Structure 1
Amino acid sequence: MNDTTVLTLILNFRTPEMTLRSAAAALAAMDGLPGEVLIIDNGSDDGSFKALQAGAEARGWLQGGRLRVQASARNGGFGAGMNIGFAQTLSTGERPDVYYLLNSDAFPDPDCIRHLRDFLGRTPRAGLAGSFVQGEDSVPHCTLFRFPTIASEFEGAARTGVISRLLHHAIVPLPIPQHPQQVDWTAGASLMIRRAVIDEIGGFDERFFLYFEETELCHRAARAGWQTYYVPQSRVTHVGSVSTGMKTWTRTPDFWFTSRLYYFTRTHGALYAAVATFARLAGGAVYGLRRLLNGKPRAEAKGFYFDLIRHGLRSLISPARAPRRGTSLSEESK
């Protein structure tokens, strides 16, 4: 019998009803597994914490030590919120063996968590494992990737067949496999991490407010010798972008550019980050020419390359500032 203990972490930001729905699915998926669910309200400051507490109590979840609700005094972003969870013990006072990170708008299948736990149990060097993710329309979401590079920045922005064929080794999104596959990184919507990984390399870098934080964590884990896997037998339904509002962005928010630049600087150095930005601009110029000649549709948010240049120039004048903490996503998007 597998006695690996699991602490499931769900981060709420102003979506209490959606979070309670996610928690219900998580509790069902935790049935028969040793461990519990922890909901962290990430500084919502809108009554979410009380709504979560009341909702959990009304459903009888607070009895028996299977679910707890905790409040963070500030919204420090995804990584900062999950780091609060990494610092917690189980109700017994013992530390969990693994952490299962679940988005508040994601709903695991009944055997989702078990598949990830069992995979880590039989794969000693696997430190992180992510799930197959699909939308509510059953359309698969790509959540397995290579690490971003200079070449991938150019290829992804150019969106041109001949370039993609030449740089096929650098394409960041990977085809969805039928069997478990080692990858560079996978999305944090449904991600299991060994406690041993966190103990060795630390938690999320809180200088990322949002985006690139799981990419950098997987990069740091890889440097320490841990592997990341995609496990398609573990399945999750994901609404997507409910807390971040990404689907309704009319312009890419500043924190995305800040996180992108910090990722490249953190992992490869300032010179590499500068060249990666130039490669993105060059790729964008290629696609811009195709738009001019062939009437291709806009591929980036309005003002994207202007904002990329502006942010790059600002970083040359002064050191790249850390993504802002304690600020709501709506405020960051302005």
Structure 2
Amino acid sequence: MDQQRILTILLNYRTPEMTLQAAAAALREMENLPGELLIIDNGSGDGSYEQIRAQAEARGWLASGCLRVIAAPVNGGFGAGMNIGIKAGLSDGSAPEFYYLLNSDAFVQGRTIRTLRDFLLEHPGAGLAGSYVRGTDGTPHRTAFRFPSIAGEFEASVRTGMFTRLLKPWVVAMDLPQAELQVDWTAGASLMIRREAAAAVGGFDETFFLYFEETDLCRRAARAGWRTHYVPASEIAHVGSASTGMKAWQRTPHYWFDSRRHYFVKHHGHAYAAAATLARAAGSLIYGLRRLIQNKPQADPPYFLRDLILYSLRAMAAPRPEPSQETRPPSSLAKEPK
């Protein structure tokens, strides 16, 4: 019988101490699991690679053969970094049976990795499985999602109970499931992917720098016949936005708008993408009116609506290539074991 090996891929961007903590927790879990841990420094350029490698050597991780550290030449984003790990495979050059993607600010909790692997072993049609995520303060994070849509964009921006109830089938962030559930997509902070599913979709689309890359991956996997599941028995503690600084955004970065537009155009076409933006803007305007009347708190980063409209107008004026289902995967995935 196959060993059912797991390659845990841990992506670092300028958080070396936190990455080492996440690696230590993952290695403790993997002591009795076949596989390896691969840390990729995603073009940090701040000495992170050297610091992580030195600490890994000092702790005996490198000599044990259970861990490798790779430096990406540039920061191509989350998907590009993970593709490097998928392409690298195990230290013997073969592909594992499972890839486990783990954020540098995510800490496994005892049987996180084994639970996801066992779930995929027990459910042959499941290609991807994600964990229950809680903050380090114990606050649950909603990480079971539906695919974005025009109705979902409106609901997310209008932030009004009446519309949420009316549009419930399209609300992107689902109520926290208490049991295992098939979902459209789940967060990449703790995500296990079957080798065959990874091969079927060719890895991440590297056009996405950050955000929407997991959404796109799960959507392409679904089209290839692979299900995505949320598995709450698998748990991680997650700091959240440690590398991206999302919680402290003073303006929404350009790459978020790029990723959002690429997702909608790629999967639905230009007209649908424009309608989704109109729905988001309409919802934001309604919520803005409620803020004036009811003293509601600011929910989006400053100037979000203005930035969304200006970005969309510039994008509409630019040349419009036909939407493509093609991705920019690694040049080849690691070879399957002989």
TM-score tier by shorter-chain length is over 0.9
Q: Secondary structure at the match of 1:229?
A: strand
Corresponding residue number in structure 2 for 1:250: 250
Report the Cα offset of residue 299 of structure 1.
1.4
Amino acid at match of 2:228: T
Corresponding residue number in structure 2 for 1:138: 138
Amino acid at match of 1:193: I
Amino acid at match of 1:61: W
Amino acid at match of 2:189: A
Report the Cα offset of residue 297 of structure 1.
1.4
Can you give the 5+ residue segments of structure 2 that lack an aligned partner in the other structure?
Answer: 322-338
Cα separation, 1, equivalents of 2:171 and 2:95: 38
Corresponding residue number in structure 1 for 2:276: 276
Aligned length: 321
Corresponding residue number in structure 2 for 1:170: 170
Q: Secondary structure at the match of 2:37?
A: strand
Report the Cα offset of residue 64 of structure 1.
2.6
Alignment of 1:291-310 (within 5 A): 291-310=291-310
Corresponding residue number in structure 2 for 1:317: 317
Cα separation, 1, equivalents of 2:284 and 2:46: 40
Q: Secondary structure at the match of 2:216?
A: helix
Corresponding residue number in structure 2 for 1:101: 101
**TM-score, normalised via structure 1 length:** 0.94
Amino acid at match of 2:201: I
147-156 vs 289-298, which deviates more? 289-298
Amino acid at match of 2:293: L
Q: Secondary structure at the match of 2:60?
A: coil
Cα separation, 2, equivalents of 1:275 and 1:44: 37
Contact 1:126 1:228 in 2 (8 A): yes
Report the Cα offset of residue 165 of structure 1.
1.1
Can you give the 5+ residue segments of structure 1 that lack an aligned partner in the other structure?
Answer: 322-334
Corresponding residue number in structure 1 for 2:203: 203
Cα separation, 2, equivalents of 1:158 and 1:140: 23
**TM-score, normalised via structure 2 length:** 0.93
Amino acid at match of 1:237: A
Quote the sequence identity (%).
60
Corresponding residue number in structure 1 for 2:47: 47
Q: Secondary structure at the match of 1:3?
A: coil
Corresponding residue number in structure 2 for 1:86: 86
286-295 vs 212-221, which deviates more? 286-295
Contact 1:262 1:320 in 2 (8 A): no
Cα separation, 1, equivalents of 2:319 and 2:81: 25
Cα separation, 2, equivalents of 1:293 and 1:311: 28
Q: Secondary structure at the match of 1:49?
A: helix
Report the Cα offset of residue 248 of structure 1.
1.5
Post-superposition CA distance 1:216-250 (Å, at most 9, x none): 10011111111000000001001111111111111
Q: Secondary structure at the match of 1:282?
A: helix
Report the Cα offset of residue 93 of structure 1.
3.1
Corresponding residue number in structure 2 for 1:235: 235
Q: Secondary structure at the match of 2:113?
A: helix
Corresponding residue number in structure 2 for 1:19: 19
Report the Cα offset of residue 288 of structure 1.
1.6
Post-superposition CA distance 1:269-313 (Å, at most 9, x none): 111000000000111121122112212111111000000001100
Contact 1:35 1:96 in 2 (8 A): yes
Cα separation, 2, equivalents of 1:189 and 1:258: 21
Contact 1:258 1:320 in 2 (8 A): no
Question: Could you list the runs of 4 or more consecutive aligned residues of structure 1 that deviate by over 4 angstroms after TM superposition?
Answer: none
Post-superposition CA distance 1:85-131 (Å, at most 9, x none): 01012123321011000000110012100000000001011000000
Q: Secondary structure at the match of 2:88?
A: coil
Contact 1:4 1:34 in 2 (8 A): yes
Post-superposition CA distance 1:129-157 (Å, at most 9, x none): 00011111111111110001000011111
Corresponding residue number in structure 2 for 1:129: 129
Structure 1 vs Structure 2 CA RMSD: 1.3
Cα separation, 2, equivalents of 1:320 and 1:23: 43
Describe the shift of the 1:287–1:48 C-alpha distance in structure 2 as closer, same or farther (beyond 3 A).
Answer: same
Corresponding residue number in structure 1 for 2:218: 218
190-199 vs 284-293, which deviates more? 284-293
Amino acid at match of 2:236: V
Amino acid at match of 2:35: G
Cα separation, 1, equivalents of 2:319 and 2:256: 16
